[in-house]
Amino acid sequence: MSDHPRQKPINMSDEIPVGNAAGFTKYFRYDFVSGLLVFLIALPLCLGISLASGFPAIAGVFTAIVGSILTIFMSNSELTIKGPAAGMIVIVFGAVTQFGYTGGVDSAADFQAYRMVLAVGVVAGLIQIVFGFVRAGVLGDFFPTAVVHGMLAAIGVIIILKQLPFAIGQTAKGDPIELLRSLPEKFYHANPDIAIIGIVSLAILFGFGFWKSITRNPIVKAVPSQLLVLLVAVPMGLYFDLAEEHSYTFMGESYELGEQFLVKVPSNLLSALAFPDFSAFTNPAYTWIAIKWVVMFALIGSLESMLSAKAIDMIDPWRRKTNLDRDLVAVGIANTAVATIGGLPMISEIVRSKSNIDNGARTRFANFWHGVLLLAFVALLPSLIHRVPLAALAAMLVYTGYRLASPTEFINVYKTGREQLIIFVVTLVSVLATDLLIGIAIGIAVKLSIHMYNGLPLSSIFLPYLEVSEQDDNTVLILARGSAVFSNFIPFRRQIEQVGLVGRNNVIVDLSSAKLVDHSVMEKLHELQLEFEQNQLTLEVRGLEGHKQLSTHPMSARKQGLTALRRLTIVCDPQLEDTIIDKAVVLGVSGYTSISCRGLGRSGLNQVERRPLDQVRIEIITRSAIAEQVLRVISDELAINHSISVCVETVEVNFHSKY
């Protein structure tokens, strides 16, 4: 929900690292170190996400291993880490629950539900492959930004509600509202020893995470919070002797401890393999359930993966661009493969990918090394994994859920406009009250309703009205009429890419005739500007001067109407005209008028002859922030040695630009 600042390359060379055979050797020291550090984060998260999803703990590790080894040969994404993600927990757990998962009460039923969901994963992976081949990557542009963030925040809340009980030695069942109601009772009956592990783990995650955010110490920043949790939680588990079944008494109450509070992993990886049960599709009792979850897996998984890949492209130090269609094919093939052996669905995961960049990775082989290290660890040291308390993993997921639904997310959304916050909150509440697909649909419906209230023409909800004309040899003007909103941006984007990136032209997008330009389009046009820049082209957005911003955020939605602006009327010596205009343009002024005039100030009126002087009158209409900067420059740099008068007025403007 920001304007996506780019990072600069982290070395002084203009060479762009490439993940080919030469890059494997050349960048080994960077990629291996980053892969090692990402591995330390990924191991506990893979285990925790898998257990929270109703899968065996090792299933998440399978996913990260297969994703890291397969996708590097098919995707051109250099810095994304493929693996299980917290954002998919709610979907996967919802699927196993509908297929009969009992949470350990009936192990045979749980295993059957697990295998049926694997079949769903295989089919969903095949659909993702088709998505990639039919170039469906562009569908990521259809979903409004506020709706996507609302969905992720809802997932974060659900993760918190489901994992908090496990962090204190309890279990969790039911929908989000039921879980929320049961929390006080869960805390009242908490297992004290397990709760100590969970609370200490949470304190480390939040406390050390805050310290990392404010310190400049590179060593502190390099230490994964999850690793620190394991270094503390595992010894605590040994101290409480969780590996042995026993009971203890605390304040007159008896509590049980044992291996049920530790991660269970097989001693032999091959024995952990599981295979899909396609009766999920052939059994009439489950067919429609299976189809529903195939849609959810394919749609939400693809959307999350594309959004993560695009976000990582925005902070790639070398500004490399992921081919989203090719990446979808890679993720689909890997999902199909991992589901056939018992793994969770995978996406391009944002947290581990961001860590990968922060750790100095150069190429896709950092992803490869993180998977190889995971494979080596679970194959050679499974007994160490068995020492990890489940409460520590639950705490990690609570922290992950908090980051998805943190208060700062609400604040950031509000800054983009009050209407964006309404869409965000409605989507969040709708997902909690219903399910993901219905919640997303409600969020989109609310967004369209707000657009219609703001004057969205019904004729341009899904199709933009574009007029394309050549300006000169290598510049094309695209005039948008009607509206430029999320629901019609896909054909709009295709037109921009076709005449610009494909045709190798600079592009001017004129939005002066669009009655409404929404926040999602503002963000996506900004992304396109960066993409044009990578290709040594320019994309200029014009015609927004006559639109009223719905907030002060630079990416806020805009609608046609009277806009409150500042009018600066500057009277000065003609010799200062060019200087003032140049400085104003640099500060962001998009236009001005200038006329010659004659007159006298107070000192001239006191003279006997009262001979008028040649002057120039410059009029600028601009936004308040820019007007204040222009005034500051005139006051600090020019008025010291020159006689200048400035009149400032607030005016309401409604005008169109034509180029």
Q: State the average pLDDT over residues 136-158.
A: 87
pLDDT reported for residue 86:
87
- Written as one string, the DSSP assignment of 391-443 is HHHHHHHHHHHHHHT-HHHHHHHHHT-HHHHHHHHHHHHHHHHS-HHHHHHHH
In a domain, 659, yes or no: no
Residues 52 and 146 in one domain: yes
pLDDT reported for residue 429:
94
3-state secondary structure of 102: coil
pLDDT reported for residue 10:
47
Q: State the average pLDDT over residues 445-464.
A: 90
Give me the number of domains the chain comprises: 3
- What proportions of the chain, in percent to the nearest 5, are helix, strand and coil? 60, 15, 30
Distance CA 374, CA 67 (A): 12
Residues 501 and 570 in one domain: no
474-509 pLDDT, tens digit each: 899 999 999 999 999 999 999 999 999 999 999 999
Dihedral, 374, 380, 386, 387 alpha carbons, nearest 10:
-90
pLDDT reported for residue 139:
77
pLDDT reported for residue 656:
53
Residue 188: both structure tokens together: 């009242």
pLDDT band at 566 (very low <50, low <70, confident <90, very high): confident
Residue 447: both structure tokens together: 């967004």
The CA–CA distances, whole Å, from 1 to 123, 280, 347, 408 equal 33, 39, 21, 11
In a domain, 132, yes or no: yes
346-379 pLDDT, tens digit each: 999 888 998 899 888 999 999 999 999 999 999 8
Q: State the average pLDDT over residues 159-173.
A: 92
Residues 629 and 512 in one domain: no
22-52 pLDDT, tens digit each: 999 999 999 999 999 999 999 999 999 999 9
pLDDT reported for residue 655:
58
Average pLDDT across the chain, whole number = 89
Distance CA 368, CA 79 (A): 11
pLDDT reported for residue 561:
74
Distance CA 633, CA 353 (A): 43
Boundary-marking domain end, from 515, 549, 583: 549
Residue 139: both structure tokens together: 């569908």
Q: Is the pLDDT of residue 94 over 90?
A: yes
232-280 pLDDT, tens digit each: 999 999 999 999 999 999 988 999 999 999 998 888 888 899 999 999 9
In a domain, 423, yes or no: no
Residues 489 and 340 in one domain: no
pLDDT band at 14 (very low <50, low <70, confident <90, very high): low
The CA–CA distances, whole Å, from 142 to 294, 348, 556, 612 equal 20, 19, 17, 62
Residues 68 and 163 in one domain: yes
Residues 483 and 587 in one domain: no
Residues 64 and 138 in one domain: yes
Which DSSP category does 319 fall into? Answer: -
In a domain, 640, yes or no: yes
In a domain, 419, yes or no: no
Distance CA 136, CA 438 (A): 21
In a domain, 576, yes or no: yes
Residues 257 and 171 in one domain: yes
pLDDT band at 145 (very low <50, low <70, confident <90, very high): confident
Task: Give the domain extent around 59.
Answer: 21-102+110-403
pLDDT band at 142 (very low <50, low <70, confident <90, very high): confident
Q: Is the pLDDT of residue 13 over 60?
A: no
Boundary-marking domain end, from 523, 549, 575: 549
CATH code, 574: 3.30.70.120
Q: Is the pLDDT of residue 132 over 50?
A: yes
pLDDT band at 608 (very low <50, low <70, confident <90, very high): low
Residues 120 and 25 in one domain: yes
pLDDT band at 434 (very low <50, low <70, confident <90, very high): confident
Question: Which among 237, 170, 163 is positioned nearest to 202, based on CA atoms?
Answer: 163
Residues 292 and 378 in one domain: yes
Percent of the chain scoring above 70 in pLDDT? 96
Residues 542 and 579 in one domain: no
In a domain, 6, yes or no: no
Residue 321: both structure tokens together: 């661009």
Q: Is the pLDDT of residue 417 over 70?
A: yes
CATH code, 492: 3.30.750.24
Q: 567 near 621, Cβ under 8 Å?
A: yes
Boundary-marking domain end, from 403, 429, 452: 403
Q: Is the pLDDT of residue 2 over 60?
A: no
- Written as one string, the DSSP assignment of 590-635 is ---EEEEEEE--HHHHTSSS-PPEEEEEEEEEE-HHHHHHHHHHII
Give the bridge partners for 567, in sequence order: 621, 649
- Segment among 25-29, 209-213, 298-302, 617-621 with least mean pLDDT: 209-213
505-525 pLDDT, tens digit each: 999 999 988 999 999 999 999
pLDDT reported for residue 6:
44
Percent of the chain scoring above 90 in pLDDT? 63
Residues 579 and 528 in one domain: no
pLDDT reported for residue 12:
38
301-343 pLDDT, tens digit each: 998 898 888 888 878 888 888 899 999 999 999 999 999 999 9
How are beta strands 593-599 and 547-549 bridged, if at all?
unpaired
Q: State the average pLDDT over residues 64-76.
A: 94
In a domain, 440, yes or no: no
